[in-house]
Structure 1
Amino acid sequence: MKNSSSYSSAALLAFSCLLFLSLPSPSFCAHPKCNSHDKKVLLKIKADLNNPYHLASWDPKVDCCEWDALECDRNTGRVIALTVFAGNISGQIPPAVGDLPYLQNVDFHKLTNLTGEIPSTVTKLVHLTFLRLSWNHLSGPVPSFLSQIKTLTFLDLSFNNFTGSIPPSLSELPNLLALHLDRNRLTGNIPESFGNFAFGNSVPDIYLSHNMLTGTIPRSFGGLNFSLRIDLSRNRLEGDASFLFGKNKTVQFVDLSRNLFMFDLSKVEFSENLIYLDLNHNKIFGSLPQSLTNLGLQFFNVSYNRLCGQIPQGGKLQSFDLYSYFHNRCLCGAPLPACK
């Protein structure tokens, strides 16, 4: 009897454990369903984009947290990321995007038939940190109202058809880490206010290449310490750019190529952090400073300028081919022909 009782107790315990494990456990298994408001807004966005095949998974009969091209918060079921990437989508960015109040990431990338302007409703997204609207056919001005989204850390509007000047108010984004306005049709000057990025929490990497910008670089840029990159190439900028450099600067990548800059390179001091320097097709004069031999350069080009003198021996300077140096006034020495 004693053994029989022990076996019965053990069997009962095992059955209880199996029963417990078979019960639904909201704490560990289930995830909250998509918020009904967010689902309604997403279906409006799909309709505004003409119900593209790229969003075929956006079926109203399915929980929207299971749909492609978006992400929900695991705890609340609110939509926090909208990523529409490389699809055959026509139309404009739906204003309803601004009605997803918990969005942190908005990414409309490589949608070649996406046209029109950026809707002002994006300013309602008070949690937005990442905004990429690149490789599309968006047009109109770069809107100044983007400066209202103080949470932004990344703003990419590259490879579009934006026109007009750069809004000075973008410098009011205190948390911005990267600003991409390259590959557009922007005109006018670089805003003087961009020197005020230093008053934020960081200085963003700035990409302004392949536009039609004119004038000089604001002197206020001299007080900035770009953490990684600055690219001003392929514009019509002129004047002095030497104040972008300095022994204590942290910037690693500087591209000023194909502009009209004119300054004496021999007087420039370079930081040992610099690994990429492109100055080709400008009006830069003087000689190459010996300090360049102390840099761990991975890319270097000073061709098509007005430089003279012998290329310093040592470091990485002889590892670049003659095309990095040719078409200067009287530059000589390896890898160019020997000085006379």
Structure 2
Amino acid sequence: MNKSVLIINTTIFLLFLLSLPTISHSQRCNKNDEKVLFQIKKSLGNPYLLASWQKTLDCCEWYNVECDANTSRIIALTIFSGNISGQIPKEVGDLPYLQTLVFRKLTNLTGEIPSAITKLTHLTMLRLSWTNLSGPVPSFLSQLKNLDFLDLSFNDLTGSIPPELATLTKLNALHLDRNKLTGVIPDSFGRFTGNVPDLYLSHNQLTGTVPISLGYLNFTTIDFSRNQLTGDLSMFFGTNKTIQIADFSRNSFEFNLSQVEFPASLTSLDLNHNKIYGSLPATLTGLDLQYFNVSYNRLCGKVPQGGELQKFDNTSYFHNRCLCGSPLPACT
């Protein structure tokens, strides 16, 4: 083959390649997913936050949306911090491959959590927080067996905590804080059969004692602060425990702190504004504490010297019955 023929053949081949239809962005997006997203946009009143949701742009390129790199199915819907009014559209349940669903910092988002969410069997993260969602924490959320993160904080949710949530075996964190929840902490929360999740129940109106069953688990983080809880918390501590952050402040807990053994893992302990009595155990000096507060209790005796205890100022200790010693005034 001479050189000119080779050039002609090469040119023809290149022109052939150029003539082939290319996969445009508009062809990547799954049409069923795109249709559902347009329904969601319409249900929310076509807000400016979703202005990029247009036919002229592939839905995998839209803001607030993420597609799987291989299948191009929608796997994340993250609607965050915008002027959106209305309720969570039931159509979110029609995105069958969704793994992450977030509605966050949307103060005009109202209504209850829709049961359509239970259709999202692949969901691993559900974050509905900083909104004006109301109604109960739905027990049907326990059907989302792949959840590893559930955040319903900073809402207007009412009623009791559904015990069924303890059946979520993959859960790493449960945020129910900053709502208007009432009733008791479910006894089932001491029977998580998979992961032991970080547990955030603060700033509610929970009452009663903490179930003893919770003491059988090794939590890493617990925040029960600002409720109306009572009873003994010593079950959460012990040399064999792994708790790192414990906030039980502003409740009515009442127990003797003197004989409590704290695990080496503990870095933050907040017990302020309770009815805790006894003395501070000397074993506290062996901990690498980053935060510590036992103020407004009924403690007595000398603050143990050493470790990290003296790096905290008197506000971490004051308003106790007869606690003394640095950083408080000297014992007499």
TM-score by length of 1: 0.92
How has the CA–CA distance of structure 1 residues 317 and 21 changed in structure 2, closer, same or farther, with 3 Å as cutoff? farther
Structure-2 residue corresponding to 1:38: 33
Structure-1 residue corresponding to 2:160: 165
State the AA in 2 paired with 1:309: G
* Contact in 2 for aligned 1:171/1:196 (Cα 8 Å): yes
Instruction: Work out whether 1:84 is the aligned partner of 2:76.
Output: no
- Name structure 1 gaps, 5 residues minimum: none
- Name structure 2 gaps, 5 residues minimum: none
* Contact in 2 for aligned 1:34/1:78 (Cα 8 Å): yes
Structure-1 residue corresponding to 2:293: 301
Instruction: Work out whether 1:236 is the aligned partner of 2:244.
Output: no
Q: Secondary structure at the match of 1:110?
A: strand
Structure-1 residue corresponding to 2:208: 215
Structure-1 residue corresponding to 2:183: 188
CA distance in 1, matches of 2:72, 2:182: 43
Structure-2 residue corresponding to 1:118: 113
State the AA in 2 paired with 1:74: A
Q: Deviations over 1:235-261 (max 9, x none)?
A: 000011110111121111000000000
How has the CA–CA distance of structure 1 residues 24 and 75 changed in structure 2, closer, same or farther, with 3 Å as cutoff? farther
Displacement of 1:20:
9.6
How has the CA–CA distance of structure 1 residues 232 and 13 changed in structure 2, closer, same or farther, with 3 Å as cutoff? farther
Structure-2 residue corresponding to 1:103: 98
Instruction: Work out whether 1:286 is the aligned partner of 2:278.
Output: yes
* Contact in 2 for aligned 1:43/1:60 (Cα 8 Å): no
CA distance in 2, matches of 1:98, 1:73: 17
* Contact in 1 for aligned 2:149/2:173 (Cα 8 Å): yes
Bigger drift between 66-75 and 274-283 goes to 66-75
CA distance in 2, matches of 1:26, 1:273: 57
CA distance in 2, matches of 1:324, 1:174: 37
Alpha-carbon RMSD: 2.2
Q: Deviations over 1:187-213 (max 9, x none)?
A: 00000011111x12x100000000000
Displacement of 1:63:
1.8
How has the CA–CA distance of structure 1 residues 285 and 40 changed in structure 2, closer, same or farther, with 3 Å as cutoff? same
* Contact in 1 for aligned 2:196/2:217 (Cα 8 Å): yes
Structure-2 residue corresponding to 1:272: 264
Displacement of 1:75:
1.4
TM-score by length of 2: 0.94
* Contact in 2 for aligned 1:288/1:311 (Cα 8 Å): yes
Runs of 4+ in 1 over 3 A off after TM superposition: 7-27, 29-32
CA distance in 2, matches of 1:99, 1:192: 34
* Contact in 1 for aligned 2:230/2:252 (Cα 8 Å): yes
Which of 245, 255, 275 is the equivalent residue of 1:253?
Answer: 245
Structure-1 residue corresponding to 2:125: 130
CA distance in 2, matches of 1:315, 1:21: 73
Instruction: Work out whether 1:206 is the aligned partner of 2:199.
Output: yes
How has the CA–CA distance of structure 1 residues 18 and 247 changed in structure 2, closer, same or farther, with 3 Å as cutoff? farther
* Contact in 1 for aligned 2:303/2:323 (Cα 8 Å): yes
Structure-2 residue corresponding to 1:310: 302
